[in-house]
């Protein structure tokens, strides 16, 4: 049985697949597509070239046959010289010639033996090339031409044929070499894409290891040089870590401050209770009010800190000014409150927090002033500036800094907690703003200058 509390189960992000596998798969598909298209085009070109070379050779033999032909005394075709290729003399060698004409006996090469090449009824004055299977065991590539020889009115057809086995064998060997070469090229490109992906994503693995060390407490931030594409991610991650550390430190400080603030009232209550004082009830009520004020103050800070990280923190300044002016006017009907300034200002702060700090300032001006309060809203160099002025006695310059401390009150004759300006300063600083005290030139009293970042 283990002691202590069990660690909370980790929540894992839903995994949609490997980024490396996706990149390699996309690269492999693209490589195969390009190689298939390129291989097909190259195959067509090479097959056409080999076929054209074979046809040129057959046409050369046909021209040689025509040039050596002449008409004898009987009107038949004869040759003044024989073609030199020995295959024309070997039966069924795969290379044949044939001369035929209407009304004349067909004259085949010895290699045809007892066979004849097909002759259709059409007339071809130019060279005609085609494939045919006149014999069961051979498919032929045939080149033929019709012409009239001098001294003969007959249109003679000269034909030269070669077995397709030779041409098909060349094409098969070519394709085999082509497939092997492209397969090897494709494999090499995929291996290269795999290595490129592995090397390219190596910095992300380094970031993952650095985050693991960060989580284990071995380092305080992600260190090390990173590529330009990964460096912004690391910078944002380090900024997030620093932000979280800052919030954790603020939470610890607030907890300590609250504990310290509550310790004194509790001690007073315990001492009064132990001593059996007659005014125990009054003491408890007084100290309980003190503790309540401290709790309200720290809750306000906690709410502001919690909302500070929101990217949607936006507040319509003029709407907040008008809402606060109406609320304070009902509490102090004898005080004149005037507002002026730009009505389109947007501050980077939650509306609730803006209402709270602005309400504190206007209420203080109405409470401690002489009856007139003036609120001005304006933009200034990326900030929204709110000026709250009154016509009271003001605050001496020597006291303007310590008045922001919790519980400090310069006028104890009026009800209050001494936490209003402290809350204003703390909340403004949480949103990276400032609050300062000055002397009002127009009204002669106090001027509070509140500056908040503009959204």
pLDDT of residue 422: 75
Judge contact between 422 and 403, C-beta under 8 A.
Answer: no
If one counts every other C-beta atom within 10 angstroms of the C-beta of residue 41, the result is: 10
What letter would DSSP give residue 8?
Answer: P
Q: What is the DSSP string of 100-144?
A: E-TTS--EE-GGGTT------S---SS-EEEEEEEETTEEEEEEE
Q: What is the pTM of this model?
A: 0.52
Beta bridge pairs of residue 339: 375
Classify 237 as helix, strand or coil: helix
What are the start and end residues of each CATH 3.30.565.10 domain in the chain?
Answer: 312-453
Structure tokens at 285: 């009520």
Judge contact between 377 and 325, C-beta under 8 A.
Answer: no
Judge contact between 427 and 307, C-beta under 8 A.
Answer: no
Judge contact between 422 and 411, C-beta under 8 A.
Answer: no
Nearest Cα residue to 144 out of 74, 136, 134, 152? 134
pLDDT of residue 119: 92
- What is the rounded distance in angstroms from the CA atom of residue 253 to the CA atom of residue 138? 98
- What is the rounded distance in angstroms from the CA atom of residue 29 to the CA atom of residue 23? 10
For the chain, give the percent of residues with pLDDT over 90: 35
Q: Determine which helix (DSSP H) or strand (DSSP E) holds 268, and give its type and residue range.
A: helix 231-275
- What is the rounded distance in angstroms from the CA atom of residue 436 to the CA atom of residue 424? 10
Which class would CATH give 312-453? alpha beta
Structure tokens at 160: 């030269």
- Give the residues of the chain that fall short of pLDDT 50: 1-5, 7-8, 310-311, 406-419
Rg (Cα) of the chain, in Å, rounded?
51
């Amino acid at each position: 049985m283990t002691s202590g509390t069990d660690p909370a189960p980790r929540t894992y992000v839903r995994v949609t697949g490997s980024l490396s596998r996706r990149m390699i798969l996309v690269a492999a598909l693209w490589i195969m597509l390009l190689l298939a298209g390129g291989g097909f085009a190259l195959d067509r070109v090479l097959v056409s070239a080999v076929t054209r070379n074979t046809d040129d050779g057959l046409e050369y033999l046909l021209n040689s046959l025509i040039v050596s032909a002449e008409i004898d005394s009987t009107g038949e075709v004869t040759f003044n010289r024989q073609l030199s290729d020995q295959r024309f003399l070997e039966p069924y060698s795969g290379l044949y010639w044939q001369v035929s004409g209407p009304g004349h006996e067909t004259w085949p090469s010895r290699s045809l033996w007892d066979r004849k090449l097909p002759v259709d009824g059409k007339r071809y004055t130019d060279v005609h090339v085609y494939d045919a299977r006149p014999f069961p065991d051979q498919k032929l590539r045939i080149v033929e031409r019709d012409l009239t020889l001098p001294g003969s009115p007959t249109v003679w057809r000269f034909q030269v044929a070669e077995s397709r086995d030779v041409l098909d064998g060349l094409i098969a060997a070519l394709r085999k070499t082509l497939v092997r070469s492209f397969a090897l090229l494709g494999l090499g490109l995929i291996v290269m894409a795999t290595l490129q992906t592995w090397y390219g994503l190596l910095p992300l693995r380094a970031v993952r290891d650095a985050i693991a060390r960060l989580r284990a407490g071995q380092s305080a931030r992600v260190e090390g040089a990173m590529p330009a594409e990964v460096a912004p991610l690391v910078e944002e991650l380090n900024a997030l870590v620093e932000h979280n550390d800052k919030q954790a430190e603020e939470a610890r400080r607030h907890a300590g401050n609250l504990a310290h603030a509550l310790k004194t009232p509790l001690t007073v209550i315990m001492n009064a209770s132990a001593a059996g004082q007659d005014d125990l009830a009054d003491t408890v009520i007084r100290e309980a009010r003190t503790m309540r004020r401290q709790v309200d103050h720290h809750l306000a800070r906690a709410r502001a800190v919690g909302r500070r990280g929101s990217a949607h923190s936006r507040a319509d300044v003029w709407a907040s000014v008008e809402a606060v002016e109406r609320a304070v006017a009902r509490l102090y009907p004898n005080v004149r409150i005037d507002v002026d300034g730009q009505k389109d200002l947007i501050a980077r702060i939650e509306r609730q927090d803006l209402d709270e700090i602005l309400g504190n300032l206007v209420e203080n001006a109405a409470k401690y002033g002489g009856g007139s309060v003036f609120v001005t809203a304006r933009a200034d160099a990326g900030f929204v500036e709110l000026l709250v002025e009154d016509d009271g006695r003001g605050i001496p310059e020597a006291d303007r800094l310590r008045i922001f401390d919790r519980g400090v009150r310069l006028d104890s004759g009026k009800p209050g907690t001494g936490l209003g300006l402290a809350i204003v300063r703390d909340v403004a600083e949480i949103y990276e703003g400032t609050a300062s005290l000055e002397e009002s030139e127009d009204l002669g009293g106090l001027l509070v200058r509140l500056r908040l970042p503009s959204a």
